[in-house]
Amino acid sequence: MAEQVVGQASTEVSMGEDVNVGKLSFPAMLSLVVGSMIGGGIFSLPQNIAAAASPGPMVIGWTITGIGMICLAMVYQKLAIRRPDLDNGIYAYAKAGFGDFIGFNSAWGYWLSALIGNVGYLVLLFSTVGKFVPAFAGGNTVWAVLAASVLLWLTHALVLAGVRTAAFVNTIATIAKIVPLITFIAICAVAFDVGVFTEDFWGSHAGLGSVFAQTKSMMLVTVWVFIGIEGASIYSKRARKRSDVGKATVGGFLFVLVLLIGVNLLSMGIMHRAKLAGLPDASMGDVLSSVVGPWGSVLVSAGVIISLLGALLAWILLCGETMQVPGEDGTVPKLFGRINKHEAPAPALWITNIVSQICLVMTVLWDGAYLAMATLAAALILVPYLLSAAFALKMVIKGETYENGPRSQRVRDAVVATVATLYGIWLVVAAGADALMLAALLYLPGAAVFVWAKREQRAKRIFKPYEIGVLVLLALISVVSIISIVTGRLSLT
């Protein structure tokens, strides 16, 4: 059956490749991956990594992270080809592999995490502008939130005008944000000092713990800069060619990996680790300024602003698409599945940005609001990654779509899927019990939305037996989380 489904879907895709009106080209898909991965994190990477590890453990950490993430990227590449009948990878793979409720939770968790990330981009954006306009200082003043709200709804209007239009603007923004990064790498490569880089290479005198402890801490930082690797798979149904999904995922990842390692490694050859660790946010600016003077900080600040604008657009696009596809097939309420005359997921975007606006206002009313929301959502996005890798591994084990292929291909895919799954498990475990407990508080309310969707379908049975078990587990963890918060053992900030 799986072979027939894949064969039929592949035929439909190949037949439709000549009729590409409204479809996204490879450059547009690539820009979605790169644009969603490069937000504000890379500009703070020198300080973030230096505070966690010395150069030696840093190199080990990047090696492990690179292997784990390239395997995850390859999982999305292979699944896009082997299961072209599944659109919106993050959601569809979880549903196909583990059922409706797990698929729903994958979409729900990803959507919430992305939504909160958008609020974070807005706060960081106006915090950066606040360096030049005091009224925006900190990013959560009344004036900053008013300006951020205007920007949020302008972006909303742009996406409503059509996904292709928004994707084109995102492509321009992605190119613009790459320029300061390449400039930084080129200048720092010339100024790189091997002596500075190799001093206390293993951190024996840094007070950061063992090599293992430093490597682990450093890897926890790198997790967040790779979020967005799945961007092309979410837009799979809009791709001009199905093969572009995998190419954009792997190509985008490799390009961003080179930028990240370049920024991180070269910074440690410009400034001593201890000095790097003490720098403020957007630490790239201070590193560049130490080489070229004050204009370096201005260039990086401009890069941060452009990067955050582009990332905001990319992630609002992803938020809408993440809920539109499950809305089409009834896994979430049908309201989310509707599109406007420009083929934009209008209701999903309205709901997304209304919630984003509420969260944005909360940052004014309570200084700790954003940090609390980010803490609650931090672990959410890791679960969909794990489910995607686990689905690929399940397919290999069962031999689905491998019936007529060479055994060597199945073995290679088994290795990739196993490494990606193990890395996904490590990410979830490394996030910590507290983060997972708090994440359950956001997963649990989604059950009501799932029930709403099932009742729209007039389903005879809403939850399967194992899904009831998952729901009960979420409820129990949520109760423990609430008790822990009330008693002070668990903090929201």
Lookup result for tokens 């938020």: 319
Report the alpha-carbon distance of residue 196 to residue 261 in Å, rounded.
17
Burial (CB < 10 A; 0-12, 13-18, 19+), residue 383, is: buried
Q: How far apart are the first and last CA of the chain?
A: 49
Amino acid at 268: M
- Cα separation of 228 and 317, whole Å? 12
Task: Name, in order, each residue with C-beta under 8 angstroms of 203's C-beta and a sequence gap of 6 or more.
Answer: 53, 54, 56, 57, 209, 211, 214, 273
pLDDT value at residue 15? 40
Residue 422 sits at φ, ψ, to 5 deg, of: -60, -40
Cβ contact 363:370 at 8 Å: yes
In angstroms, the Cα distances linking 48 to 221, 293, 463 are 7, 22, 43
pTM value? 0.86
Q: Strand pairing partners for 24?
A: 239
The span from the CA of 248 to the CA of 71, in Å, is 14
> Are 41 and 224 in contact, with CB atoms under 8 Å apart?
yes
Residue whose C-alpha is closest to residue 83's, from 383, 394, 317, 423 = 394
SS (H, E, C) 140-176: CCHHHHHHHHHHHHHHHHHHHCCHHHHHHHHHHHHHH
Tens of pLDDT, residue by residue, the chain (493 residues) = 444 444 444 443 444 444 454 688 898 899 988 988 888 788 889 998 999 999 999 999 999 999 999 999 999 989 988 998 888 778 899 999 999 999 999 999 999 988 888 888 888 888 888 888 999 988 889 999 999 999 999 999 998 988 888 888 888 888 988 999 999 999 999 999 999 999 999 998 888 999 999 998 888 788 778 888 888 888 888 888 888 888 999 999 999 999 999 999 999 999 999 999 998 878 899 999 999 999 998 999 898 888 888 888 888 888 888 898 899 888 999 999 999 988 889 999 999 999 999 989 988 887 666 556 666 666 788 889 999 999 999 999 999 999 888 889 999 999 999 999 999 998 888 777 888 888 888 899 999 999 999 999 898 899 999 999 999 999 999 999 999 989 988 876 6
Please check whether residue 183 is in contact with residue 317, taking contact to mean a CB–CB distance below 8 angstroms: no
| 208 token code pair | 């950061």
For the residues of 415-457, what is the DSSP string, one character each? Answer: HHHHHHHHHHHHHHHHH-HHHHHHHHHHHTTHHHHHHHHHHHT
Residue 321's beta-bridge partner residues?
none
Amino acid in position 190: V
* Sign of the dihedral defined by the CA atoms of residues 196, 200, 205, 211, in that order: positive
CA 242 to CA 294: how far, in whole Å?
46
Structure tokens at 191: 């100024």
